[in-house]
Amino acid sequence: AAKRAGQAYRRWDPALDEQSTGHARLGAEMRIALDTGQFQVVYQPIVAYPEGRVAAVEALVRWEHPQRGTVSPAQFVPVAEQNGLIIELGAWILRTACRRMARWRAELGGSAPDKVSVNVSARQLAGPGFATTVADILAETGLPPHHLAVEVTETSVFEGGQAVTTLHELRKIGVQIALDDFGTGHSSLGLLQTVPVDILKVDKSFVDNVTEAGRHSVIAEALIQISTELGMTAVAEGVETAEQADALHQLGYTLLQGYHFSRPLAEPDFGRRPTTTGGM
């Protein structure tokens, strides 16, 4: 039998098959979850160090599935990207976070965080309507634009479509742009030449070994220098110990986020955070 190239390699893979039906099921359940209120937004403090004030919060989505329990966003966000539901889910997350932030500003005044940072995925950013969606949500919730940042990754920017144009539009209306997982992509530095970035989120992988002399602390130091020179704000992600916090402080970092300060919570506490080594 004649086999054309490409066909010869197409074999039935039970694992792949399993995965795709699993995705389809998860996708269908996500539709129901959105309609029945199974999604929740939690907020992780970003702390001004060493003062301990909560300067900002990152909004993170959670799915409380009635049978499966808590499903990780690392699991369902990629599925929502694939089936397109991320457009509706993403808008819901954005609206929820902006409404919440507007309420904190109204209730807590000066003790409220300055900013809520919301993760935005490639597919949301690629479409033509995203800047308008954001503007509408800000108008609807009454949140002034400078209290919102959108977190994008290098991959989501490079996936193209309208992404770069959209980021410029968002910047123009006063929304800040945060580059997430910075340093883990292939051309993180190159991206800084084409995309207007206000906030660099230095990836946890550089924070993990920052207390040891060696390449990670050298990179962490280079990244804070670059962000300062370019007029950006650096946030160190995934800070788990007091020693890491102090080492980052020594390098010049002033904004830290991680389990050492707080896990993401539905009701974060905006009181001051532990600041000194051994203080917990």
Choose the one of Ca ion, ligand C2E, none that binds residue 15, judging by a C-beta under 5 to 8 angstroms depending on kind: none
Does residue 81 bind Ca ion (CB under 5 A)?
no
Is the CB of 73 or the CB of 161 nearer to ligand C2E? Answer: 73
Does residue 119 bind ligand C2E (CB under 6 A)?
yes
3-class SS of residue 13? coil
CB of 37 vs ligand C2E, minimal distance in Å: 16
Segment lying near Ca ion (by CB under 5 A), choices 11-19, 174-182, 217-225, 254-262: 174-182
99-128 binders of Ca ion (CB under 5 A): 119
- The two beta strands, 53-65 and 69-71, are antiparallel
For 219-275, the DSSP string reads HHHHHHHHHHHTTPEEEE----SHHHHHHHHHHT--EE-STTT---BSS---SPPP-
CA dihedral 180, 182, 185, 190 (to 10 degrees): 110
Segment lying near ligand C2E (by CB under 6 A), choices 9-17, 53-61, 125-133, 141-149: 53-61
Does residue 61 bind ligand C2E (CB under 6 A)?
yes
Does residue 154 bind Ca ion (CB under 5 A)?
no
Q: List for the chain the helix, strand, coil content (%; round to 5).
A: 45, 20, 35
Backbone angle region of 116, left / alpha / beta, with phi > 0 → left and psi within -120 to 50 → alpha: beta
User: Residue 40's beta-bridge partner residues?
Assistant: 62
Is the CB of 2 or the CB of 188 nearer to ligand C2E? Answer: 188
Counting residues that bind ligand C2E (by CB under 6 A) gives 21
Does residue 60 bind ligand C2E (CB under 6 A)?
yes
* Per-residue x/- track, 222-241, ligand C2E (CB under 6 A): ----------------xxx-
